[in-house]
Amino acid sequence: MGPTSRFSANGMGGLEILSEDSGLVFCRGWREGAGGGRKDVLIVLPASESPAPTTLGGLAHQYSFKDELDSRWAVRPLEVVRDRGRTILVLEDPGGELLNGLLGVPMDVGRFLRIAVGVAAALSGVHRHGLIHKDIKPANILVKGAAGEEIRLTGFGVASRLPRERQAPDPPEVVAGTLAYMAPEQTGANTPAEWLEEAVFGIVNLLDRGAGVITSDEERKQLAELKSRDLG
């Protein structure tokens, strides 16, 4: 997909839409630096000119984690700017492409497994830093490398900090995130190990369903072994 004229902002250009999801548009482009040079960035902005307060709140909330996210496993926010009445979240651009752009076509089983394990490792980083993502889905997973060697998470708009005490799951009417990719910590699991184990199972099934990667009995056997592996 090439640059779009649908969105523009002062000091930013070459905007290419990577994803449009949940009222937000995720773009790649460049931004003018202090010295006059251009720096590659990712930006998130409302799809509507009159976004809901919850949409704007999600952008501000995602920015609030900027000092807690590690660029080894997350796409770090840089700043929130206002341009002609539009709120824009600017993030680092580590390169790569969103997972939702890789699904729907057959994927090499080796790459499939590397991505699944990479997502689990990124989630482990999130949990080690005392955070709960709550909205893991293909549109929030950035994959870099021909073999999917580097995985970073984005979309922390409904994330929360890990409570110190064991808590019951929220009732269905207040569950955050995307229903089709329900966050494992909202299922009743109460420890990072439980979350990670459920998350690996969920992401593997997500990739299995979306990528059409399982094409042989041997590959199905490998997938079954991955699902049943003791992560503890």
**58 and 36 belong to one structural domain:** yes
Cα separation of 146 and 139, whole Å?
Answer: 18
Residue 203, in any domain of the structure: yes
Query: For residue 32, what are the domain limits?
Result: 12-92
Verify that 102 and 82 share a domain, yes or no.
no
Among 89-93, 105-109, 186-190, the range of highest mean pLDDT: 89-93
Q: How many domains does the chain have?
A: 2
Q: Any idea what the CATH number is for the domain that residue 58 is in? A: 3.30.200.20
- Contact in structure between 15 and 1 (CB atoms under 8 Å): no
* Residue 110 CB-half CA count within 13 A: 3
- For residues 115 and 30, state if they share a domain: no
Other beta carbons less than 10 A from residue 40's beta carbon: 13
Mean pLDDT (whole number) for 146-170: 77
pLDDT tens figures, 16-44: 999 998 899 999 999 987 777 889 999 99
pLDDT digits (tens, 9 = 90+) for 198-220: 555 565 555 555 555 444 566 55
Q: How confident is the prediction for the chain on average, in pLDDT?
A: 78
Q: What percent of the chain has pLDDT over 70?
A: 66
Mean of pLDDT values over 124-133: 90
Domain end (from 61, 92, 123): 92
Residue after which a domain boundary falls, among 42, 57, 92 = 92
Residue 4 lies in a domain: no
Residues 220 and 119 in one domain: yes
